[in-house]
Amino acid sequence: MPRPPFPAPVLDLLREPRPAVIGVVRSDGSPVTAATWYLLEEDGAGGGQVVVNLDATRRRVAHMRANPQVSVTVLGESWYTHVTLLGRVSAWRDDVDLADIDRISRHYGGEPYAVRDGARVTAVIDVERWTAWGSLAGAR
């Protein structure tokens, strides 16, 4: 599996507001996945971190805090074309003013996040490796 930086076609996909699935590890070692929004925060060198924002009461948050290893699979136009990012949560921050979820929501739908009454947290994921399938399979 290659490590960042990402080639241009992979970066192009990751920059888009695409459907994605995050995988985390439960306390018993079993995996659990969920659909998620994400945002790539580029580092200027063809790499970057992935930011996800979660309802602070979700079990997924506890799982990720206990075991920071995660995967995020981003789907292309065809479900067969996708990029899977493997990494670790390197930072947590409370999203008290909902700035992070608003930024992600605007990326996906052009509007601030509609639900304004729940506690939210942001996880910053350092991408360690990635793989691509479908039309991006040869990207290196």
For 124, counting Cβ atoms within 10 Å of its Cβ (0-12 exposed, 13-18 middle, 19+ buried), the class is: middle
Where b means 16+ CB within 10 Å and e means fewer, 35-44 reads ebbbbbeeee
Q: Which of 122, 112, 49 is nearest to 85 (CA)?
A: 49
With a CB cutoff of 8 Å and minimum separation 6, the contacts of 17 are 37, 107, 108, 109
Beta-bridge mates of residue 35: 21
pLDDT grade for 98, boundaries at 50, 70 and 90: very high
Q: How far apart are CA 54 and CA 122, in angstroms?
A: 6
Confidence (pLDDT) at 47: 87
37-55 pLDDT, tens digit per residue, is 999 999 988 889 999 999 9
Confidence (pLDDT) at 62: 97
Q: How far apart are CA 86 and CA 21, in angstroms?
A: 12
H helical segments located in 59-138: 59-66, 99-109
Confidence (pLDDT) at 130: 97
Go through the domains of the chain in sequence order and give each one's CATH number.
Answer: 8-136 (2.30.110.10)
Decide: 18 and 75 in contact? Cβ < 8 Å. yes
Residue 117 pLDDT > 90, yes or no? Answer: yes
Residues present in the chain in total: 140
